[in-house]
Amino acid sequence: MAARALSAAGKLFLAGEYAVLWGGTARVACVGPRTHAWVRPREDRHVALHLAEGTLRGTCTPLGVAWDGEVAPPFLFAARTVDLALRAYGGEGPGFALALSPSPLGPGGRKLGLGSSARATVLVAEACRAVLEAGFDARVLALLSHSVAQGGKGSGGDVAASALGGVVRYRRYPLEGLQAHLVDGRLGTALASAPPLEARSLSSVQVRMLYAFAGDSASTPVLIRRAEATLDADARAAFVRESDALGHALEDALCAGDFAQLAPAVEGLQRLLCTLGPLETDAMARILALARAHGCMGKMSGAGGGDGCVLFAPGDAEAAALVDTLAARGFHAFPLTLEEGVRGEGAPPESLRAWARD
């Protein structure tokens, strides 16, 4: 076994944020900047998980990791993924050291809403697969561990985007069969026979995109529970039908580079999300109004109630002018670059190599 350097990028939902929870299709973009991981084997059976917040240690067992102490919140998603990777491996396994670089933060050190937990889960799943020389599908393992770590909530679209790259068309993965084998020692067998990830990375996107951070963070599980309490089964089905139609129009416009076709789809998606309740904050409303004033369009990205908006511009000049205007009004905004999915790198940042030496 050899050491391995990896990187992965974050996500932004472009369409289908809630519909994907109820059987619909989401479009999710994999966007930069990238973060990094460095994993190296050890000569013992100990695991050392290094983050900017410190180090979590434990011992490999066939049932996961026996951690030396309580798993603190910053380590939750990474530790859960290491734990499930060892259960899927099914043996005592070699030990290893794994270091993760921190996700990018916005003003005041706040998370930007770009899928930091999903990105970490994808990196850790692939790092574990590599260092254990295991045969499990790291993408499916990442979907499972991310869901388990957040109590079964969420669609997994953020994980799929970070794993696959580009703009991903995604339907919710059926995790129920895997969840039944979390503690019976047969997770590896269940993963081997699990269905493939139902997602497709679009071949080409030709519209300029930006992101504007609205300045607040929201609790996605709380917002999901509120939305599910608002709509009965018939209303959810109607919501999914409209979301899927608008998402299809958005996808066509993105691939054709047709801003005139894209604008009504984006507007319709924003209007549809607002039918679920007060998801659009005052800051979001200001961002979207400024976008329209510059000939651009936008919508909230994700569950709403905070985080930010994905914005679409017809040209470079409009995009640059919008970023300047948003910055002048105190909003953190920047152009988006579509990124590849998780990938190997020639070398890790030196800080990660130093963390993982012990």
pLDDT at 38 over 90: yes
Question: For the residues of 174-201, what is the DSSP string, one character each?
Answer: --HHHHTTSSSS-HHHHHHTSPPP-EEE
Query: In the predicted model, what is the mean pLDDT of the chain?
Result: 90
- State which CATH number among 3.30.70.100, 3.60.15.10, 3.20.20.70, 3.30.70.890 fits the domain covering 208-335: 3.30.70.890
pLDDT at 136 over 70: yes
**100-109, 239-248, 321-330: the lowest-pLDDT one:** 100-109
Neighbours of 233 (CB within 10 A): 8
Look up the CATH number of domain 4-202+339-355. 3.30.230.10
In the chain, residues under CATH classification 3.30.70.890 are: 208-335
Q: Are 292 and 225 in contact (CB under 8 A)?
A: no
More confidently predicted of 219 and 86: 86
Give per-residue pLDDT as tens, 283-294.
999 999 999 999
pLDDT at 110 over 90: no
- DSSP conformation class of 215: S
What share of the chain has pLDDT > 70, as a percent?
96
Instruction: Give the residue-averaged pLDDT of 132-154.
Output: 91
Give per-residue pLDDT as tens, 261-288.
999 999 999 999 999 988 888 999 999 9
- What's residue 307's pLDDT? 80
- What's residue 271's pLDDT? 96
Give per-residue pLDDT as tens, 312-349.
999 999 999 999 999 999 999 999 989 999 999 998 88
pLDDT at 160 over 90: yes
- What's residue 216's pLDDT? 72
Q: Are 159 and 121 in contact (CB under 8 A)?
A: yes
Instruction: Give the residue-averaged pLDDT of 217-222.
Output: 70
Give per-residue pLDDT as tens, 59-104.
998 888 999 999 999 999 999 999 999 999 987 778 999 999 988 7
- What's residue 24's pLDDT? 96
Cβ-based burial of 116 (10 A; exposed 0-12, middle 13-18, buried ≥19): buried
Instruction: Give the residue-averaged pLDDT of 113-130.
Output: 92
